[in-house]
Amino acid sequence: MTHDAPDGLTIRVMTRHDLDRAIDWAAGEGWNPGLKDAGCFRAADPTGFLVGDLRNEPVAAISAIRYGDTFGFLGLYIVRSDLRGHGLGVSLWQAGMAYLEDRVVGLDGVVAQQANYTRSGFVLAHRNVRFGGMPQVEAPRDERLRIVGPGLIEAVLAYDRPYFPAPREAFLRCWLTPDTRTAIAFVEDGTIKGYGVIRACRNGHKIGPLFAHGRREAEALFQALAARAAGQPVFLDLPEANRAAIGLAADHGLSPVFETARMYRGTRPDLPLAQTYGIGTFELG
């Protein structure tokens, strides 16, 4: 997918090197990406990451991830800071939206851009708030908490399905692989009742996703995951509508540091926000 935009911007699919650069740009914006996010991002949709070149120099990025035939998610929408205000981002936005065709599309937009997204047909669903801090926790000794290995992956994929608007198996198979990430499931009586993932980031660690039947399971998972941060900062991106999640974060000394507007174009997905204690990523949903 390569075409020339009216303003002379050439838009093409990112190479892996381009994606690494875009993630560096995201770090520069203060978004604190994970140390090894790029590989799993590409697994979600290898052709869904677009870069804009101006005179053969990369100047803008966007991700437009196709999840099956019905859902898409926009993220990593960045124009190089010294070139903003010249309409370069609009062309990239249009290319991303065209790639997603007539799917329902979600995004986690910075609050300052909410009005612009509204003009593009997006409607606010809820706020997502990033909580961060230095939780003082020890890993619980609980046999129900199990590291997600090959024997649990299929069950976790099935558990995850209601929490996201479309299947995302390719992404999750990567995200659940122990690398700079650790996935833990809460398994009781042979049934998964929650799971979460923690990953190393430019600053500290992020927990995401964190899904659980209730506060009891979420609390145990949070403690087990946060203990792996070994005293470094921990961040949790949660939907503001889940008051229990806010309570959990506050009880562990985390406080709001950033927020986004979760918005959708098209029919809003019916997701179990009351059991969503942490979303996966602001970039991919």
pLDDT at 89 over 90: no
CATH of domain 3-107: 3.40.630.30
pLDDT at 96 over 80: yes
Q: Please choose, from the candidates 130, 125, 132, the residue with its C-alpha nearest in 3D space to the C-alpha of residue 107.
A: 125
Give the model confidence (pLDDT) of 174-187 as tens digits.
Answer: 999 988 899 999 99
> Can you give the pTM of this predicted structure?
0.94
Residue 7: per-residue pLDDT? 62
pLDDT at 93 over 80: yes
Residue 1: per-residue pLDDT? 47
Q: Tell me the pairing of strands 255-265 and 234-239.
A: unpaired
Q: Do domains 3-107 and 130-278 have the same CATH topology?
A: yes
Is residue 9 very low, low, confident or very high in pLDDT (cuts 50, 70, 90)? confident
User: What is the average pLDDT across 2-18?
Assistant: 78
Residue 71: per-residue pLDDT? 98
> Percent of the chain beyond pLDDT 70?
98
Mean pLDDT taken over the chain: 94
- Spatial separation of the C-alpha atoms in residues 245 and 272, rounded to whole Å: 13
User: 130-278, what's its fold?
Assistant: Aminopeptidase (3.40.630)
Residue 252: per-residue pLDDT? 97
Contact criterion met (CB below 8 Å) for 269 and 71: yes
Residue with the two structure tokens 């249009």: 94
Residue 85: per-residue pLDDT? 78
Terminal CA-to-CA distance of the chain, rounded, Å? Answer: 23
Lowest-confidence region among 50-54, 61-65, 85-89, 111-115? 85-89
Residue 3: per-residue pLDDT? 47
Residue 4: per-residue pLDDT? 45
* Domain segments of the chain as ranges: 3-107, 130-278
- Higher per-residue pLDDT: 162 or 79: 162
Residue 179: per-residue pLDDT? 80
pLDDT at 83 over 90: no
With b meaning 16 or more CB within 10 Å and e meaning fewer, what string describes 88-108?
A: bbbbbbebbbebbeebbbbbb
User: What is the average pLDDT across 260-281?
Assistant: 97
User: What is the average pLDDT across 203-230?
Assistant: 97
Residue with the two structure tokens 């590409």: 42
